[in-house]
Amino acid sequence: MAYSFTLQDPGEGIHEVIIDEIMVSEGDHVNEGDPVMAVESDKAAIELPAPVSGTVKRLSVSKGDTVEVGAELMVFDDGSDDSDSGDDEDASSEPSDEEASDGKTEDDKSASAKSSDSEASDDEADEPEDAEDSSAKDTGGGNDDKDDDEKSARDTEGDDTASDDEDEEDTKDEREEAKEFEGSEPDEGQADDREDAGIKAAPAARAAADKHGIDLASVKPTGSKGHVTKQDVEKAAKSDGRDTDNAGDTGRGRETRKKMSGIRKATANHMARAWADIPHVTHQDRADITELEKARQKLTDDEENDIDDLTLTAFVIKAMTIALKQHPEFNARLDMDKSELIISDDVNVAFALDTDRGLLTPVLRSVETKSIHGIATEMAAMAEKLHSGPPEKEDLEGGTITLTNVGSLGGTGFTPIINHPQVAILGMARAALEPVVMGILDEPDIKARLMLPLVFAFDHRAQDGADAARFMTTLKGLLEDPNRLLVEAA
C-alpha cells in the first residue's frame, strides 16, 4: 500500500525547510528509522528517518527545493494489501449491478468515462476542456441506450487503470509535450541528435536545455515512452542551482540565481533586524601582543606541557571574560519592552565560525570557569563538529556576547554587527608586525611590535562610548601583560 511521507511540523516556529540531501532513490528498499533525507531550516539541519519500512515508490521533491510543513516528500510502498486500490489484479474489472445502479450522476459517469479514455492513450490529455467527447457527454443524455453502451465499454476497459499512480502524476505540460514529441517532425539536426545519443526529447525540452545549458543526457526522463520533458529539464536546472524562472535576457548578460540556504536566509534576516533595530557604535584600538605571543609560543613548544592547540583566540576570549567581570553591562541583553538591561551572571561566548553551510555562532558556556587550554580545546572540538555535520539547536543558543576573528583571512579592521539580542561584539583583525614609536617624547625609540587590531561594537541604547573605552582599556591591559592575564585566568 502506498504511504505518503509528508513534512511534519518540527516546532520552534519553523514553517518551511530546504531539501539539503536525498539519501535514497526510487526503487530503493529502506527500513523504518533509516535516514532518507536531510533538510535545513533557518535554525539547524536535521536528518529525516523513514516512517515505515518498504520501497521508495516516488520522490516528490528534489535537492534544493523549499517545502512547507505538510508537503509530500516521498511515497513508500510498504508491501501491505490495499483493499481499496484499483491495482489488485484479482479485482474484477467488471462493475457489479449494484455499482452500475448506485445513483451516480451523469457528471460522475462522464468523469469516469473521461478518465478511462485518458488511460487508454499514452499521449492524449485528459482535461475535460481538451476532450471533445467530454463536452458532448456533459451536455448529452438524450440517447440513453447509446450512453449506457459507451459507459459499459469504458468502465470495463478503464477499471484496471483508473487508479494508476503514474497517470495521476502526469501534469498537463508533460502530456502536451508528449503529444508534441510524437506528432512533431524534427529537423535533420534534431533527428541526428536523437539517433546518435539515444535521447528522446520534445522540442520544448530541447529549447529549455539550450536555455539553461543542460546536457539532456544527464536529465532523468519521466515523460511518455522515456522522453525528456520540459519539466524534467527545469527540475534538473533547479537542482543544479540555475535560474529556471528568470533566466531570460535582462540586459546584464548571463546570470545565475543561487537559492539561499536555510542558514544563509536566517543570517540575512537576523543581520537585517540587528542593523535596523540596534544603534551601533564601534570603538577601535590596537593591542601590543608581542609578549603574549612569545608566551603562547613558549607554552605550545614546551613538550612537558603537552599543549599544542593554544590559539590566540583562546587567550583573547579569556581576557574578554575577565574584562566583562569588571564591566558586566556588556555581558547582557536588552529588553526594550520592559526598559531593562538583563545582565548575565555567566559569560557564554558565541564565536563566529565560517563553515561550508554558512556562518554559525556556536556557544562556549560558562567561560569564566574554564582555563585558556580548556577554551582552546572546546573551540577546536566544536569547530570540528560543525565542519563535519549540522549543528544541534543547543549548540547555537544562549550566547551573552560574541567574538569574531577574521585575522586568518586578512584585514586591518571591520565593523561587526551585534548578534541580537546581545549588546556587544568584539572583533579581531590580523595581527602584524609594525614599527611602533616607544619611549618618551624627548627620547623616542622605534621598535617592531606585534599589533592586534581590535574592534568593539556596542548597542548605544545600553551603554555609552565612555563605557566602551573603559572596557577596551581593561582588555588591552590584559593582552599586553601576559603575566597578569595568566594570574587572573588561574
112 belongs to a structural domain: yes
The CATH number covering residue 184 comes to: 4.10.320.10
- Contact between residue 25 and residue 56 where contact means Cβ atoms under 8 Å apart: yes
- CATH number of the domain that residue 28 is part of: 2.40.50.100
Q: Establish if 186 belongs to a structural domain.
A: yes
pLDDT at residue 14, rounded to an integer: 64
Which pLDDT tens digit goes with each residue over 441-476? 999 999 999 999 999 999 999 999 999 999 999 999
Tell me, yes or no, whether 15 and 120 share the same domain. no
Cα–Cα distance, 72 to 49 (Å, whole number): 14
pLDDT class for 128, splitting at 50, 70, 90? Answer: very low
Question: What does the pLDDT look like over 256-278, one tens digit per residue?
Answer: 888 777 778 888 888 999 999 99
In a domain, 249, yes or no: no
The answer to whether 138 and 110 are in contact (CB under 8 A) is: yes
Q: pTM, whole model, 2 decimals?
A: 0.58
User: How far is residue 413's CA from residue 192's CA, in Å, rounded to a whole number?
Assistant: 60
- pLDDT at position 99 is 45
**Residue 125 domain-assigned?**
yes
- Domains of the chain: total: 4
The answer to which of 110-114, 172-176, 305-309 has the lowest mean pLDDT is 110-114
Residues 318 and 417 in one domain: yes
Same-domain status, 73 and 115:
no
Amino acid at 347: V
Torsion on CA atoms 405, 410, 413, 415, rounded to nearest 10: -60
pLDDT at 156 > cutoff 50: no
Residue 429 and residue 407 in contact, taking contact as beta carbons nearer than 8 Å: yes
Mark whether 163 and 178 lie in a shared domain. Answer: no
Write down the pLDDT at residue 266: 81
Q: Are residues 439 and 335 in the same domain?
A: yes
Per-residue pLDDT tens digits for 12-69: 556 778 888 899 999 999 999 998 998 877 656 677 899 999 999 999 999 888 888 8
Mean pLDDT along residues 335-353: 96
Percent of the chain exceeding pLDDT 90 equals: 46
Do residues 229 and 186 both lie within one domain?
A: yes
Mean pLDDT of 113-128: 46
246 is a domain residue: no
Please give the average per-residue pLDDT across 300-325, as a whole number: 88
Stronger pLDDT, 171 or 58, i.e. the higher one: 58
Tell me how crowded residue 403 is: count the other CB atoms within 10 A of its CB.
20
Report how far apart the first and last C-alpha atoms of the chain are (Å, whole number).
Answer: 65
If one counts every other C-beta atom within 10 angstroms of the C-beta of residue 258, the result is 10
**Of 481 and 148, more confident:** 481
β-strand 424-428 against 401-405: which pairing, if any?
Answer: parallel
The per-residue pLDDT of the chain, averaged, comes to 78
Looking at the fold, whether 201 and 337 belong to one and the same domain comes out as no
Q: What percent of the chain is modeled with pLDDT above 70? A: 70
Tell which residue, 390, 313, 302, has the closest CA to residue 351.
Answer: 313
Q: Is residue 257 part of a domain?
A: no
- Domain end, chosen from 119, 145, 168, is at 168
Q: For residue 31, tell me if it sits in a domain.
A: yes
Residue 190 has pLDDT above 60, yes or no: no
| Residue 261: predicted pLDDT | 75
Q: Based on the domain organization, do 422 and 390 belong to the same domain?
A: yes
> Which range has the worst mean pLDDT, 139-148, 225-234, 328-337, 367-376?
139-148
One domain, residues 223 and 350: no
CATH code for position 356? 3.30.559.10
Residue 113 inside a domain? The answer is yes
Domain stops at, among 223, 239, 255? 239
Average pLDDT over every residue of 416-441: 96
> What residue numbers bound the domain in which 418 lies?
263-489
Q: What's the DSSP call for residue 486?
A: H
Query: Across residues 105-109, what is the average pLDDT?
Result: 47
The per-residue pLDDT for range 206-261, each reduced to its tens digit, is: 888 887 788 888 888 887 777 788 888 888 887 765 554 554 455 778 888 887 77
pLDDT of residue 198: 66
Asked whether residue 424 falls in the same domain as residue 356, the answer is yes
Q: For 115-124, 281-290, 292-301, 470-479, which range has the lowest pLDDT when averaged over its residues?
A: 115-124
Which of the four pLDDT bands, split at 50, 70 and 90, describes residue 91?
A: very low
The residue among 43, 77, 111 that closes a domain is: 77
Pair 186, 154 in one domain: no
pLDDT attached to residue 256: 85
Interatomic CA distance for residues 373 and 355, integer angstroms: 23
Question: Are residues 219 and 156 both part of a single domain?
Answer: no
